[in-house]
Chain A
Amino acid sequence: MKYMSEYRDPELAKKYLEEIKNTVSRPWSIMEVCGGQTHSLVKNGIIEMLPDKVTMIHGPGCPVCVTPLNLIDKAVYLAVEKGVILCSFGDMLRVPGSQKSLLEAKAEGADVRILYSPLEAVKIAEDNPHKEVVFFAVGFETTAPANALSVVHAHRRGVKNYSILASHVLVPPAIKAVIDDEESKIDGFLAAGHVCTIMGNTEYHPLSAAYKVPIVVTGFEPLDVLQGILMVIRQLEQSKSEVENQYARIVREEGNPDAQKVIDEVFEVRNQMWRGIGEIPESGYAVREKYADFDATKKYNVTIEEAPENPDCISGQIMKGIKKPFECSQFGKTCKPTNPLGAPMVSSEGACAAYYHFSGLVEA
């Protein structure tokens, strides 16, 4: 219980843990899909506090981690060879490409900028009319509306020198791919709360019914995650498979229709490559033809050969829940946040980085 003092309400956390212990009668494996939840579970020591019968499996819930190597190479090429102002979120800059990361490209003189919001990139384009600005638009459904909105803003404001390199990933098809993978043995899922803030819960009902798995939409604070785990276990123990909403204070059944409208205006669903996992059908967003002028893939028509992944990195198995970070022979040795072999060690939401920083398995 060494981390208990970090809880805002340790008494309530203890009650949840007690209730989980009293409810669970046999071993269950639960996957938390969201990287923020992985972070919360590891950082707060929840994994050690759970009964042995409950195994938490860390899912592919970090968009930075699953962005294909080839797209990072394209972003580096645009910044270095095409001389564009390349903008993205901070985590994305450190992810290794086949030759270098965007941060290394920046150190060598490319104009690479970290932004808080894609909307800032449109401003940068307006302020630099003689330069091309590309936003490397990664993210789950939570981030897709903001990325789409940047395109809508640029269009409305007549900005011609702005485009996005889109790498969006969608959660429900990923859950389906994980269940379909014969090596993954997951009994229930914690779905990502902020994704559902946008998309609502409706997409999960057919999944839960078809595969007979409980899916609980869950927030990311320690008490949220504990309550989500308890809700999944209660269902499993009663042989139920329903969609429940632990995060009802934020997530509405129908999600945010205005956000969905913006996504639909700019993007269409396509098959998407996931780094370490492979192609998942209908699991990404491409920019619609109507906005082709804002699609960096079409605007620059960059062809870069697919480079092989580092053979020592088992990030695919980690993101599908087949292996834990500490089961990797490179973990904490050749692979560290300062020198990551694969993306889950880069992003603060990656499973490997969470274990590296907070599990106590590595001497910092």
Chain B
Amino acid sequence: MCLAIPGKIKSIEIQYGGMVRMAKVSFGGITKEASLEMLPDADVDDYVLVHVGVAISKVNEEEAQKTFKYLEEIGELGELEDVDEYLPKSE
């Protein structure tokens, strides 16, 4: 659970009357929502490190791709897929 996974911000959406800034982040083929509360200056096309649904740090593209490839190789991305059946479907 301490793993943080790098992904690319595809879009940003302001929810709940401006109170919550959420991004759709792409991890390989999987897209998940992540809060941008901790990275107020993160923008579309930026690469960010996401931990339990919150983007915690910006990373450069090359670094993000290297890390992602490594995580994929050692089979550590299962947690992204496994939880899908438990998640409420996003609108």
Whether B52 pairs with A198 at a CB distance below 8 angstroms is no
Residues of A within 8 A of B63 (CB): 249-250
Q: Can you add 12 more A-B contacts, CB < 8 Å, to A117-B52, A139-B1, A143-B2?
A: A36-B3, A61-B2, A91-B1, A116-B52, A127-B88, A146-B53, A152-B37, A194-B56, A197-B56, A221-B70, A250-B57, A258-B40
Residues of B within 8 A of A61 (CB): 2
User: What is the CA–CA distance of A139 and B38 in the complex, to the nearest angstrom?
Assistant: 17
Whether A116 pairs with B80 at a CB distance below 8 angstroms is yes
- The listed residue with most A CB atoms (<10 A of its CB), out of B3, B49, B59, B69, is B3
Residues of A within 8 A of B33 (CB): 119
Whether A250 pairs with B87 at a CB distance below 8 angstroms is no
User: What is the CA–CA distance of A77 and B52 in the complex, to the nearest angstrom?
Assistant: 25
Size of the A side of the interface (Cβ < 8 Å), in residues, is 51
Where the two chains meet, the residues of A that have a C-beta atom closer than 8 Å to any C-beta of B are: 6, 8, 34-36, 43, 61-64, 89-91, 113-120, 123-124, 127, 138-140, 142-143, 145-146, 149, 152-153, 156-157, 192, 194, 197-198, 220-221, 249-251, 256, 258-259, 262, 347, 349
User: What is the CA–CA distance of A349 and B1 in the complex, to the nearest angstrom?
Assistant: 8
Q: CB of B20 within 8 A of chain A?
A: yes
Q: How far is the CB of B85 from chain A (nearest CB, A)?
A: 9
Residues of A within 8 A of B1 (CB): 63-64, 89-91, 138-139, 143, 347, 349
Interface residues of B in 1-47 (CB under 8 A from A): 1-4, 16, 19-20, 32-33, 35, 37-40
Whether A194 pairs with B59 at a CB distance below 8 angstroms is no
Q: A90-B79, A119-B35 are in contact. Are A36 and B2 (CB under 8 A)?
A: yes
Whether B87 pairs with A149 at a CB distance below 8 angstroms is no
The SS class assigned to the B binding surface is mixed
**Of A119, A140, A221, A250, which contacts B54 at CB under 8 A?**
A119
Q: How far is the CB of A139 from chain B (nearest CB, A)?
A: 7
Whether B87 pairs with A116 at a CB distance below 8 angstroms is yes
Whether A115 pairs with B70 at a CB distance below 8 angstroms is no
Whether A145 pairs with B56 at a CB distance below 8 angstroms is yes
Q: A143-B2, A250-B59 are in contact. Are A124 and B83 (CB under 8 A)?
A: no
**Of A43, A113, A117, A259, which contacts B53 at CB under 8 A?**
A117
Residues of A within 8 A of B67 (CB): 221
Residues of B within 8 A of A34 (CB): 2
